[in-house]
Amino acid sequence: MFGPRRYLPSIPSLLALEAVDRLGTATAAAEELALTHSAVSRQIKVLEGQIGVRLVVRDGSGLKLTRTAQEYCEKIRAVLTDLSRSTLTLRVNPAGGSLNLAILPAFGLHWLAPKLKSFAQEHPEVTVNLSTRLTRFDFDAEQQDAALHYGTRDWHGVHYLRLAGERVLPVCAPGLFARPLRSAEALQAATLLHLQTRPGAWENWFRQHDLSAGGVAGMLFDQFSTMAQAAVHGMGVALLPEYLAQIEIARGRLVSAFGDPTPTEGQYFLVWPQRDPEKPQVEKFVNWLKRNL
């Protein structure tokens, strides 16, 4: 139960207040909402009367939100966003059964996406909605049912399904080095490209080759795709997952800088919250993955 209905403001009033807060003026809000300036002002007055709190200061230059109203608008915006997303989900899948899956960009695109056609054929009643998340998040705070996770079993309050291990390979643009490197030690003097979510990747690689690599410096990227593109343009050496490195090597855009692919400490998992009862669409997806690993 939501509580007394008198504490549930009308959508038009909330839209008017949110638009004034975001756009800065009632005139701009009226244009966006296809209303008159007076209609926007009237909607806000209705909201003030309903909740008994002053939300705007009216002066000769227009409407100015109070600090309390600005804080209230942050919550309004989140609620309206969730409502819009839920409505869109219902519209594209009126039969229900949507699975909201947070993916890692590179692994999700190259490992999972090609398999999803098989899941759709087996379970046409479930619509899979994909969105990108680079790090762990709170399942209770976001509308996600499951997520792809790289690393160890360090995400608390979730179930784990191991999907794959990983091997990485140093790659660079053809011609970056005048002659092929003959040792891993030679890479210590190269410009190395780093991924934000894996700050210790190069140190681990050097350690596997019995070398110390404290204080390795270089450019920082938030995704493998942008780091790979930087390597293509000769900006340094990228340590890429084998599946991604091989694609770029086959295209002739990158070459191996040194050695063979080496295993990383992390693994890829599907994770989903430890809720009771478990959502049927999550159970279907997990069971399907187990049969197709």
Vertex 69 angle, CA 64 and 75, to 5°: 135
The per-residue pLDDT for 63 is 77
Q: Is residue 65's pLDDT more than 60?
A: yes
Establish whether domains 95-164+267-291 and 167-263 are of one fold: yes
Vertex 151 angle, CA 149 and 157, to 5°: 60
The per-residue pLDDT for 189 is 86
Q: Where are the domains of the chain?
A: 5-91, 95-164+267-291, 167-263
pLDDT classification of 216: cutoffs 50, 70, 90: low
CATH fold label, 95-164+267-291: D-Maltodextrin-Binding Protein; domain 2 (3.40.190)
Lowest-confidence range among 54-68, 140-154, 254-268?
54-68
Residue 224 · residue 241 · CB < 8 Å: yes
pLDDT over 90, % of the chain:
58
Q: Is residue 177's pLDDT more than 60?
A: yes
Lowest-confidence range among 34-38, 58-62, 288-292?
58-62
Name, in order, each residue with C-beta under 8 angstroms of 160's C-beta and a sequence gap of 6 or more. Answer: 153, 269, 270, 271
Q: Is 127 exposed, middle or buried (0-12, 13-18, 19+ CB in 10 A)?
A: middle
The per-residue pLDDT of the chain, averaged, comes to: 89
Q: pLDDT tens digits, residue range 186-214?
A: 998 899 999 999 988 999 999 999 998 66
Which CATH class, in words, describes the domain spanning 5-91? mainly alpha
The per-residue pLDDT for 25 is 87
pLDDT over 70, % of the chain:
92
pLDDT classification of 1: cutoffs 50, 70, 90: very low
Whether the link from the prior residue into 277 is cis, omega within 30° of 0, is yes
* Token duo for residue 281: 């669409």
| Sign of the alpha-carbon dihedral angle for 22, 28, 32, 34 | positive
Q: Is residue 2's pLDDT more than 60?
A: no
| CB environment 262-279: b (16+ within 10 A), e (fewer) | bebebbbbbbbbeeeeeb
Residue 218 · residue 192 · CB < 8 Å: yes
Q: pLDDT tens digits, residue range 74-126?
A: 888 888 887 887 777 666 555 557 899 999 999 999 999 999 999 999 999 89
The H or E element spanning position 32 is: helix 26-33
Write phi, then psi, for 291 (nearest 5 degrees).
-80, -15
3-state class of 267 per DSSP?
strand
CATH fold label, 167-263: D-Maltodextrin-Binding Protein; domain 2 (3.40.190)
Residue type, 189: A
The per-residue pLDDT for 9 is 84
The per-residue pLDDT for 277 is 77
